[in-house]
């Protein structure tokens, strides 16, 4: 008995979800690191009021926002893939 098309799609979705969850973990880790650096940059900018420190703080704030957007994007993809997976599992249950 072979694997039908819906089952193959389910395997692909499971692989995609695993990849997306790895991306989420990596992106979250990077975001946390940049948020920590931003905190340091903000403190330096407030204490020294030097132009370089203020510029560094602005750049690190942009990095944090960029990574928050990337994390939101990955999480949205995970939600879509999970919905697709749930729909596919429901169809497979109905066909049994």
Q: Work out the average pLDDT over 90-94.
A: 84
The Cα 59–Cα 55 span in angstroms is 6
3 pLDDT tier (thresholds 50, 70, 90)? low
CB 45 within 8 A of CB 56: yes
Average pLDDT over residues 55-64: 98
Q: How far is CA 81 from CA 25, 46, 47, 84, in A?
A: 17, 43, 46, 5
Domains in the chain: ranges and CATH: 5-95 (1.10.287)
Tell me, rounded to whole angstroms, the distance of Cα 6 from its chain centroid.
27
pLDDT tens for each residue of 38-57: 999 999 999 998 999 999 99
pLDDT digits (tens, 9 = 90+) for 4-43: 888 899 999 999 999 999 999 999 999 999 999 999 999 9
């Amino acid at each position: 008995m072979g694997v039908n098309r819906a089952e193959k799609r389910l395997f692909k979705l499971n692989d995609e979800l695993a990849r997306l969850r790895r991306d989420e973990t990596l992106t979250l880790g990077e975001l946390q690191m940049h948020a920590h650096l931003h905190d340091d940059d903000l403190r330096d900018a407030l204490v020294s009021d030097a132009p370089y420190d203020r510029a560094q703080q602005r750049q690190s704030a942009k990095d944090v926002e960029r990574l928050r957007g990337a994390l939101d994007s990955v999480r949205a993809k995970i939600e879509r893939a999970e919905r697709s997976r749930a729909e596919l599992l429901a169809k497979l249950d109905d066909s049994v």
